[in-house]
Structure 1
Amino acid sequence: MTVPTTTAELPGGGQASAPKISLRDVTKRHDTQLALDRITLDIPVSTFFVVVGPSGCGKTTLLRMLAGLDAPSEGRIDIANSQPGHPQNSMVFQGDSLFPWMTVWDNAAYGLTMRKVPKARIDEVVGHYLNKTGMYGARTLYPHQLSGGMRQRVSIARAFANDPDILLMDEPFSALDEQNKTLLHEELLRIWEETRKTVVFITHSVDEAVTLGDRIMVMTAGPGRIKTIVPVNLPRPRKVVELRHTPAYGELVYDIWAQLREEVDRARSREPGSKA
């Protein structure tokens, strides 16, 4: 795919010659229903880009189009390919996406195996990411023997091991308790600092968005439009618990929630039976 030759600011300063992901007037209709309306957006390379918005605003629809699982009704999506021969994207889903008949190791190695990567390289890469996620000791277990948090660790290891150009994550931690969420936030941040993959991360949690993101896009109630994009000027690397006790963190959470609350209230006012 071709990419417009615009400039975009990198998360840590400096300029990239072109965005990693570029959307121009992207609109999506499901039959007669307008899901997304004229989304124009540039995501710089190596950015951890987070999307928040009320239910039904088209967040997952947007992610599916970035993954190539769906196409815009109108407009254009361009993704710069910097790794020929590697997958353009890997996805981490909200639900359990592991193959139940495969061990932890074989699940993590799946993408590399399908690409016929040499076994020695698979052993090196998969071992590295299972170590990073704390799952190496469980490498011979099957998904039914793991907790929900452990299964998501394997999903993250598999996604990074596959070495995609971009990583797409659809509310991957929403079903977990707060303790497991915090631990997985820390592990994800450590791996991301090492790889600096371009990430698009969908969440309903403002806390999660500020903890992880470089930029946060707040979407309007459906049809989904861009309400605002907020830069997260918090230093990296980040320690999750310490970060959440800083005034800057609290101010960002408050400001983004104020923006999001307007849209959540608008979405609720349209629900059947609402008195609004």
Structure 2
Amino acid sequence: MSDYSIQHKLAQAAAAGEAGAAAAPKIRIRNLAKIFETRRGRFAALDDVSLDIPAGSFFMIVGPSGCGKTTLLRILGGLETETHGSVEIAHSGSERPLNSMVFQGDSLFPWMTVWQNAAYGLTMRGRPRAEIEEVVGHYLSRIGLTRFKDAYPHQLSGGMRQRVSIARAFANDPEILLMDEPFSALDEQNKLLLQGELLRIWDETRKTVLFITHSVDEAVTLGDRILVMSAHPGKVKTVIDVPFGRPRQVLELRARPEYGALVYNIWEELRDEVRRARAQDEEGVRS
């Protein structure tokens, strides 16, 4: 593929995402429940969750600790099976993988270089070498790690390792990108930089993204819609539309007064759930 071809593919993907957002949802979740059997009995992680997630949207999930956010993502990623309810994902029918995940912790292969890690998904799919070189080169350039392509994970900072994880996920070209608090372990400066880089890469592709975060600021900065979940068992408390257009500049967005007002409103929705989750934890310790 030439430089033109990859840019043409990205433009097509972005256009398809925008068109899909107005059509049928990419993900339909109906009456979803998940119950775990534990030594202390049955634990309901999710209860009666119903959602429609449009194609091409950046969908954020916030909620108190233990509300089932990660369980929901793992069900969507095929790593857990629901107890009740249904999940329908509209597959395009192409050879692209259905999803890729970016985790909170370090998920790079320590014995592989930056380049090999970023190319892993494409390599496992047997893509032509020329395509792998162009796609991986493109995303390493976008995250500013081209000159580190031969480095190993232990030679990188935490922020650089997460940038490689993001490049690997986008290079694999999944239909859905699942992100579980990928920036939570980073300092504020690296977090702001990575948010900006993620937005720039996402603007090229307009993939359907589900992103878990504990940060209301991060949810408003990145998202099109924000799901606020209740304390466990996790339910849909509300879904909030983010009114800010794209492309977005992280710092400029946060300087706007309406940004602060939206963060405050979401925190108002979330605060009682955080208190309820804390009370549940304290009750669990006493029992």
Q: Aligned partner of 2:27: which letter?
A: I
Instruction: Confirm or deny: 8 A CA contact 1:234 1:248 kept in the other structure.
Output: no
| TM-score normalised over the length of structure 1 | 0.93
Segments of 5+ residues of structure 1 without an aligned counterpart are 1-9
Q: 2:202 aligns with which of 192, 202, 218?
A: 192
Counterpart in the other structure of 1:110 = 120
Structure 1 residues 123-164: Cα deviation after superposition (integer angstroms, max 9, x where no partner): 000000000011111000000000000000000000000000
1:28 maps to which residue? 34
Total equivalences in the alignment: 266
Task: Provide the C-alpha distance between the structure 1 equivalents of 2:137 and 2:21, rounded to a whole number of angstroms.
Answer: 35
Q: Determine if the alignment matches structure 1 residue 248 to structure 2 residue 258.
A: yes
1:91–1:197 CA distance, 2 compared to 1 (3 A): same
Match of 1:153 among 140, 150, 163: 163
Q: Is the 8 A contact 1:47 1:198 kept in 2?
A: yes
Amino acid paired to 2:152: Y
1:255 to 1:13, Cα distance in 2 relative to 1, 3 A: farther
Which structure 2 residues correspond to residues 42-81 of structure 1 after superposition, within 5 A? 42-81=52-91
1:85 corresponds to: 95
Q: Does the C-alpha gap of structure 1 residues 12 and 157 become closer, same or farther in structure 2, counting only changes over 3 Å?
A: closer
The corresponding residue for 1:19 is: 25
* CA deviation vs aligned residue, 1:31-90 (integer Å, no higher than 9, x gap): 111110011100000000000000000000000000001111001001111152111000
Cα distance in structure 2, aligned partners of 1:82 and 1:254: 38
1:174 alignment counterpart: 184
In the other structure, the counterpart of 2:268 is 258
Amino acid at match of 1:88: L
Identity %: 65
Equivalent-residue separation in structure 1 for 2:66 and 2:19 (angstroms)? 34
Give me the whole-angstrom Cα distance separating, in 1, the residues matched to 2:111 and 2:20. Answer: 46
Q: Higher helix share goes to which structure? A: 2
Q: 1:235 corresponds to which residue?
A: 245
Is this contact kept in 1: 2:25–2:53, CA < 8 A? yes
SS in 1 for 2:282: coil
Q: CA RMSD in A?
A: 1.7
- Secondary structure of 1:56's counterpart equals coil
Q: What residue number does 1:40 align with?
A: 50
Structure 1 pair 86–260 and aligned structure 2 pair: CA distance change class (3 A)? same
The offset of 1:15, in angstroms, is 6.3
What residue is the counterpart of 1:100 in the other structure?
110
TM-score when normalising by structure 2: 0.90
What letter is aligned with 1:27?
A: A
- Match of 2:218? 208
Kindly provide the CA deviation profile for residues 82-110 of structure 1, in whole angstroms up to 9, marking residues without a partner as x. Answer: 15211100000000000000000000000
1:88, 1:210 → 2: CA distance?
A: 26
CA distance in 2, matches of 1:14, 1:131: 28
Give the whole-Å Cα distance in 2 for the aligned partners of 1:91 and 1:184: 16
The one-letter amino acid of 2:193's match is: L
- Which 4+ stretches in 1 moved above 6 angstroms? 10-15
